Chain A
Amino acid sequence: MDALLTLWESTGVANLGWQQALMVVIGCGLIYLAIAKKFEPLLLVPIGFGAVLSNIPVAGIGGPDGLFGMIYSVGVQTGIFPLLIFMGVGALTDFGALIARPSTLLLGAAAQFGIFATLIGAVALNALPGFNFTLQDASAIAIIGGADGPTAIFLASRLAPDLLGAIAVAAYSYMALVPIIQPPIMRLFTTKKERAVVMEQLRPVSRLERIFFPFVVMILCGLLLPSAAPLIGMLMFGNLLRESGVVERLSRAAQNEIINVVTIMLGLAVGSRLSAEKFLAIETLGILVLGALAFSIGTAAGVLMGKIMYRATGGKVNPLIGAAGVSAVPMAARVVNRVGLESNPHNFLLMHAMGPNVAGVLGSAVAAGVLLALTGG
C-alpha cells in the first residue's frame, strides 16, 4: 500500500498545479501561433515546447540540474547564444544599401526613440500597484522596442534575468506582428504624396568598401562604446566572413549550421524560463503592453525622421523607409515596400528600406550598449 502511495505521489497528475497546467497551455498556444499563424516559427516552436517540457512537474527539466536549466546557464546566462546568433545575422546581412546611402543611419537612430520612451513608460508603470520595476528591469523591457530578438535576450540576461522569459516572448511576438502594427502608424504620419515618392537607384558598392565597412564600425564602437563591442563585434565578424569572399565555408556555417543549432538551444532555454512562478505575474502583462508601445513609438519616430529627411532633401527621400529603422530585418523593410506599393504600384522601396533596416540593427545594438554601460552596475 505504501509503495502504491509513493508511486502515486511521483506521478504528474498528483503534482500538477493549476499554474503549471496553465503554463503548458500557454506553451501550446505559442506553438499554435507558430504553426497556424506562422509567427516567428523558428523561435516560437522551440520556446513553446521548452515551456511545455519545463512545466512537467517533478521532472525538473528547467531546474538548475535539468537539461534546459543547464543549457540556459551555459548559453543564455553567459550571453553566448545571442552573440553567436548575431554572428550569423552579420553573415546573412548585406550592408550594401547602408554603405551606398549612409544617411539612412539617421533613420535607424531615430527609431531607437521607442526604446527610451518605453523606459520612461516602464518606470511610470511603478505608480500602479503590483509593479516594481528597477531601472535595470525597465531597460531590459525597453529594448523590446529595438525589435531585435538576440539583442533583447542579451540585455535581459545581463540586466533582468527574472524577466527574460516574458521579454523574449514579447520581443518575438511583436516582431511577428510588425506587418499588423506598423502600417496604420505609417499611414497616419505621412501624406499620400509623400508615400508615393520614388527614390533614385542606389549606386553600386565596391568589394573594397564592403570589406572596409566592418572595420570602420568596429573601430568606432571600440573607441566610443566598448559595452556594445560584444554585440557589434560579432555582427561585424559575421559580416567580414561574408564579404571577405575567401572563407566561403565559414560564412556558410555561420549563416546556416551555427545559427540553426544555436536557435534551437536558445529557444529551448528561453522556454524553460516560462515557469509558472515567474511568468504568471502582473509584470508579464505590463511587459506585453510596454512592448507594443515600444514598437509603435519606434515606428512613429522613424517615420517622423523620414519626414525631416524628405524636407531636407527636397522630396528625394520617401518618409516610409523610416519605419524600417526599427530593425526586425527583413520584415519591416517588406512592410515598407508593401505600403509604398499601395500608393504607387510602380514604386519598389525594398532596397531603399534595407538601409534603415540594417541601420536599426546597429542602432539597437548601440542603444543596448548605452543601457548596459549606464545601468549595468
Chain B
Amino acid sequence: MLDTTLVKESLSLMAIGMGTVFSFLLLLVLLLRIMSWLAHRLSPLEAQTLPATPMAPMTEQAADAELIAVITAAVTRYRSRWRP
C-alpha cells in the first residue's frame, strides 16, 4: 500500500532537509572564513613563531660534552663493579 500523502511528506522533507543542510554548511563556510581572518588579525605572528626551535648550537655542544662525561663515568663504574 503506497500512501501518497506519505510520499508527498517525504518529498517535502527531502527538499527542506537538503536546503537546511546546505544553508547551514554554507553559513558555516562564511563564518569560518571570518573566524580565520579574525584569528590572523588577533595574533598574526603565531604561525611564524611556532616552527622556530630555541636550541643554539653552543648549548648543544655543551650538553653533548656533559652527556659524554656522564656516560663515561657510568661505564667506568659498571666495569669496576662487574670485573673484579
Contact = CB atoms under 8 A, between A and B. Distances in A.
Q: Do A and B bind each other?
A: yes
Interface of A: 98-99, 102-103, 105-106, 108-109, 112-113, 115-117, 119-120, 122-124, 126-127, 132, 135, 138-139, 204, 206-209, 212-213, 216-217, 220-221, 224-225, 359, 362-363, 366-367, 370-371, 374-375
Interface centre among B7, B16, B33, B35 (most CB of A within 10 A): B35
Contacts of A208: 39, 42-43, 46
Closest 4 A/B residue pairs (Cβ): A116-B14, A127-B2, A102-B32, A109-B25
B36 A109 contact: no
B10 interface: yes
B7 A370 contact: no
A217 B28 contact: yes
Contacts of B52: none
13 contacts: A105-B29, A106-B26, A109-B25, A116-B13, A116-B17, A120-B7, A120-B10, A126-B6, A212-B39, A216-B28, A216-B35, A217-B28, A362-B28
A162 to B, nearest CB: 18
Given A102-B29, A105-B29, A126-B6, 6 more contacts: A116-B14, A119-B14, A213-B32, A220-B24, A220-B27, A375-B13
A225 B20 contact: yes
Contacts of B24: 109, 220-221, 224-225, 366
Contacts of A119: 10, 13-14, 17
B21 A109 contact: yes
B40 to A, nearest CB: 7
Nearest to B38: A212
Given A120-B14, A135-B9, A213 B25 contact: no
Interface centre among B7, B11, B14, B26 (most CB of A within 10 A): B14
B49 to A, nearest CB: 10
A135 B20 CA distance: 18
Contacts of A135: 6, 9-10, 13
A375 to B, nearest CB: 7
A220 B28 CA distance: 7
A106 B38 CA distance: 22
Contacts of B17: 112, 115-116, 119, 367, 370-371, 374
A363 B47 CA distance: 29
A99 B16 CA distance: 27
Contacts of A105: 25-26, 28-29, 32
Given A204-B47, A209-B39, A213-B32, A362 B25 contact: yes
Contacts of A124: 2, 7
A123 B28 contact: no
Interface of B: 1-3, 6-7, 9-11, 13-14, 16-18, 20-22, 24-29, 31-33, 35-36, 38-40, 42-43, 46-47
Q: Is the interface of B mostly helix, strand, loop or mixed?
A: helix
B26 A117 contact: no
B55 to A, nearest CB: 21
Contact of B25 (A106, A127, A139, A216): A106
A106 B29 contact: yes
Nearest to A209: B39
Contacts of A108: 25
A363 B46 CA distance: 31
B10 A123 contact: yes
Contacts of B29: 102-103, 105-106
Contacts of B6: 123, 126, 135
A206 B31 contact: no
Nearest to B22: A109
A206 B43 CA distance: 9
B36 A123 contact: no
A9 B43 CA distance: 75
Contacts of B2: 124, 126-127
B76 to A, nearest CB: 40
A268 to B, nearest CB: 32
Nearest to A107: B25
